[in-house]
Amino acid sequence: MKITEEVSEILKSYVYIYIDPRNGEPFYIGKGQGNRIFTHLGDQSESEKVAKITEIKHYGLEPIIDILRYGLTESEASLVEAAAIDLLGKAKLTNRISGYHRSSFGRISSHDLIEISKAKFVDVRHKAILFTINRLYRSGMTPLELYETTRGVWKLGKKREKAEYALTVTYGIVREVYRINKWYQAGTLTYQTRDSSEVNIMGRWEFSGDVAREIRDEYVGLSVGKAGQNPIRYKNI
């Protein structure tokens, strides 16, 4: 299938959805321009999305492909894509990563909002770096998603080597605490929940680590205050 230049001019940037014709369930949401909507049909990668398409074709069927919104700017398409993925939830989709829009925040539960308003303040007494991930955070992230969002990728100087812990912070609240084992140049480590374009950035850093169970109860769920423009804060370094 091929989208003509005339149709592409009408569509501009758009958001599309793949649906399983056997049960009417959506299984993939994407955004793009031109013929992007049909490229997945010829994809040969070993992804869950491709496996689903192959399974549908095995039954002599084709995925239902709908466009959710079109005539958008690239930024608008990113916003619609992110909202649609958050609405359906990654558990129901084959999308490997969540949608992302630079100028907005992800889905957040009313429980998290209440937690933000009631959280007590705590002083950080350990040698730590506080990483604020507001724009990439959404309620219900898996432990792996939270870890991979926290560990990279950051613009840091040599002072990073003095930090023993990394605190994940959203809206001033500590979500998790990790012991930093080692620093690497961005793009060195493998990510399962983030796209390579997000993490292969020259001049930035990422760390490997583990949940710091020995101290996490001192901080998780408590407030360290909101950050300014810089998402990185050093404590006791």
Domain residue ranges in the chain: 5-92, 110-235
Instruction: Decide: helix, strand or coil at residue 223.
Output: strand
Residue carrying the six token digits 């040698």? 127
Architecture of domain 5-92: 3-Layer(aba) Sandwich (3.40)
Which of 147, 136, 149 has its CA nearest to residue 179?
147
What's the pLDDT at 13? 95
- Residue 199 CB neighbour total at 10 angstroms: 19
- pTM, two decimal places: 0.63
Can you tell me which residue has the tokens 């192959």?
54
Note down pLDDT in tens along the chain; length 237 residues.
788 888 899 899 999 999 999 999 999 999 999 999 999 999 988 889 999 999 999 999 999 999 999 999 999 999 999 899 888 988 889 987 766 655 556 667 777 777 777 889 999 999 999 999 988 888 788 999 999 999 999 999 999 999 999 999 998 999 999 999 999 999 999 999 888 888 889 999 999 999 999 999 999 999 999 877 899 999 999
* Selection from 61, 50, 68, 58 nearest residue 22 by Cα: 61
